[in-house]
Amino acid sequence: MNFTADLAELCIQDILQETREISYYIYDNFLYYGIVSSPPYRFVAGPVSELHLSEKDLKETAFRLNLKQHEIPLFVSEMKALSGIHLDTLIQSLILYNFAVNQTMYNISDIRIKHNE
């Protein structure tokens, strides 16, 4: 979907720091980005969330993105149109994509952060 603004702008520097072949990044405790690296390329998917974000949270995000006042209602509408996706569903999609581009197979437990980590 072509958003009014790219939410990844808020955390792209952190996302690009990731060096593992397949991983994910959690932004602000509610948005997830999936990452598959196949040098020299890096595929970033997201954001996804399993939570429905409040209008207040979405407006704060729009403010952090420096959107103009007239762009905020459209941005909020676009974000509310996203269907919720569980993190495990994103990871399974990344595993499939990674297999296609890197020919290496992972299990979801290889990627998912363990509780003790």
- How many whole angstroms separate alpha carbon 95 and alpha carbon 97? 6
How do residues 57-75 score in pLDDT, each as one tens digit?
Answer: 889 989 999 999 999 999 9
- Do residues 106 and 98 touch, judged by C-beta distance below 8 A? yes
Residue 114: the pLDDT is 57
With a cut of 50, list the residues of the chain below it in pLDDT.
Answer: 115-117
Residue 84: the pLDDT is 82
Tell me the C-alpha to C-alpha distance, in Å, between residue 110 and each of 12, 17, 58: 24, 19, 32
Residue 116: the pLDDT is 46
What pTM was estimated for this model as a whole? Answer: 0.84
Residue 80: the pLDDT is 84
Residue 1: the pLDDT is 64
Collapsing DSSP to helix, strand or coil, 43 comes out as strand
